[in-house]
Copies of this chain bind each other. A is one copy, B any other.
Amino acid sequence: LKAALLLVGNEILAGFVRDANIVLAARALVPRGCPLTRVEGVGDDVDEIAAGVGRLAAVADLLVVTGGLGPTEDDVTRAALARALDTELVLDERALAQILARAEARGLPTPERVRWQAEFPRGTESVPNPVGSAPGIRCRIGDCDVWVLPGVPAEVEAMLPGLLATLPEPAAGISYERLVATAGLNEVFVAERVQGSGFRPPAGVQLAYLPSPAGVRLRLAAPHGVAGAVLDRAAAELRTALAPHDLPTSTPAEALVQESTRSGTTLASAESCTGGMIGARITDVPGSSAVYLGGVIAYANRVKSERLGVAPELLERHGAVSEETVRAMARGCRERFGSDLALAVTGVAGPGGGTPQNPVGSVWLAVADEEAIVAQRRSFPGGRETVRERTVNAALVMAYRRIRGILE
């Protein structure tokens, strides 16, 4: 089975909203043996949407369309779907009743525009929306099963289970992919390691390298499905070839939370240039509250002194971006929070603030535990966002490795 996704909306094409629906749809569909093979994005234009629906329905078994079901004049996906189906819009009384009941329960007005959301192309069926006002639409175009969902990711997430329930169950023991994450190894090195180990993917399995700011990940994909044990064995071989740069999970934050939980190590964080991103990333992981106590965002130097105990003279002498400061931040954080381990970062994320000694991208990271404080200086290329993102990942990986006993 092949799936396609059509993203509808000027907010995507004009760059005002960063798409989140490709990830949601892909992560739901891959394990069901129905991967996305093509994605398209078009603006809020009846002709463009109708043409996109036609193009994708011709090449996919399942087409998911997201966006353009709202109550405003520029929400024209319903009209476009009617055009693609060569039919007209008709009011769906059941959908209208749902929309009005939901609006009433939430105290929202129900002008004519709200009723538009219950106008579906003739012959299509409505799909309940448990978290938003606009119902979805399901229909067939040729051999393709078409699902039209609202564009808001939370609504897509809530409505995907209904779609998945209509797909055939995968055969027992059959899997479609495994992922092996790595950290701190350039793509060239990763490829050399894998090649050097003599690794060959099993029959029916493809190996792909997925670069990301968190590190290179390797994906074993079996488009037609193979025994899960075959994929497990291949993933284990890859991890052996890449150790100790392999991660047991798909992200550094998950690896850290898993390893902290396993070992009973509590965590705290002290962040300057990342401004809270390390805490945010750790607490993204459900269950992190069992190990993560909290942290200090020490953006101003005064906060580094008053809230983390970094001596003002030390800051004065060595500067905020220095080994001495990051060590004092990690020590002070661990003491004050009473955690087993503390992470600390301080750096120059840019665009301003660079000096000859510490140009933009210069970052000091430290991990403090009962035994020692380990500090590292890194220099990250790129703009503010990239520097912050790479700093967060480097800190999470340092802490993970420290708990694993592979960082000294």
The residues of A with any CB-CB pair to B shorter than 8 Å are: 7, 9-20, 22-27, 30, 35-44, 48, 70-75, 103, 108-109, 111, 113-114, 131, 133, 151-154, 157-158, 177, 179, 186-189, 191-192, 206-213, 217, 219, 221, 250, 269, 271, 273-280, 282-284, 286-289, 292-300, 302-303, 306-307, 336-338, 351-353, 381-386
Contact = CB atoms under 8 A, between A and B. Distances in A.
A300 B293 contact: yes
A288 B271 CA distance: 15
- Which applies to chain A's interface (DSSP): helix, strand, loop or mixed? mixed
B43 A40 contact: no
B274 A280 contact: yes
Nearest to A272: B294
Contact of A297 (B211, B296, B351): B296
Contact of A38 (B42, B154, B206): B42
Contacts of A298: 294
A296 B299 contact: no
A212 B17 contact: yes
Interface centre among A40, A103, A157 (most CB of B within 10 A): A40
A12 B35 contact: no
Nearest to A352: B286
A22 B19 contact: yes
A187 B384 CA distance: 32
Nearest to A386: B154
A186 B108 contact: yes
Contacts of A30: 14-15
Contacts of A111: 188, 192
A24 B386 CA distance: 13
A48 to B, nearest CB: 7
A18 B14 contact: no
A14 B26 contact: yes
A375 to B, nearest CB: 21
A252 to B, nearest CB: 14
24 contacts: A10-B208, A10-B219, A10-B221, A11-B212, A12-B22, A12-B39, A13-B22, A14-B35, A14-B36, A16-B250, A22-B41, A40-B40, A73-B191, A113-B188, A131-B382, A275-B279, A275-B284, A275-B288, A276-B278, A286-B384, A292-B300, A293-B303, A295-B296, A302-B338
Given A211-B152, A279-B275, A336-B307, A15 B26 contact: yes
A245 to B, nearest CB: 15
Given A209-B70, A275-B279, A297-B294, A18 B16 contact: no
A73 B200 CA distance: 13
A15 B27 contact: yes
Contact of A25 (B15, B25, B177, B353): B15
A303 B307 CA distance: 13
A211 B353 CA distance: 35
Given A16-B210, A25-B15, A191 B221 contact: no
Q: Which 9 A-B pairs have the closest CB atoms?
A: A15-B26, A275-B283, A276-B279, A276-B276, A39-B41, A11-B210, A154-B382, A294-B303, A276-B280
Contacts of A384: 284, 286
